[in-house]
Amino acid sequence: MNQPFSVKLFLGYPLTPDLKHHLHLSHDWQQAKIEGVELVEVYHQGHDYLGQYVDHLLLTLIYLKVIESKIFDILERHKPGFNRNHAGCAIFPQLFIG
């Protein structure tokens, strides 16, 4: 029987207008999106974020750090000079109904 709702944790960086503009202009980023880049865009509490959903079965601080580094590496590859400390990684739950 299907559950009426599920909760997922999302880990990502704010998708600022500057980052969004830079990625939009990046041919490599557009190609990565076509090929199924591992990042998803999520809207949460008035802000856009770019990151990944976290597997709750593997939820440890080390796992979160690995995922954060993976997200950072992808963003840094497509926007050289991306500053992880300035951007500030966020983690938050999302409730899915249905």
5 part of a folded domain = no
Q: How many domains does the chain have?
A: 1
Judge whether 93 and 59 are in contact, CB under 8 Å. no
**Coil, helix or strand for 23?**
helix
Q: According to the model, what pLDDT value does residue 1 have?
A: 54
7 part of a folded domain = no
How far is residue 24's CA from residue 15's CA, in Å, rounded to a whole number?
Answer: 12
How far is residue 89's CA from residue 37's CA, in Å, rounded to a whole number?
Answer: 19
> Which one has a higher pLDDT value, 98 or 97?
97
For residue range 22-74, what is the model confidence (pLDDT) as tens digits?
A: 888 888 888 877 777 788 899 999 999 999 998 777 788 999 999 999 999 98
Helix 61-78 and helix 17-25: axis angle, to 10°? 60
Q: According to the model, what pLDDT value does residue 55 have?
A: 79
Domain that residue 69 falls in: 16-97
Q: What's the pTM value of the predicted model, to 2 decimals?
A: 0.82
62 part of a folded domain = yes
Sign of the CA dihedral with 78 first, then 84, 87, and 91 last: positive
Q: For residue 36, what is the enclosing H or E element?
A: none
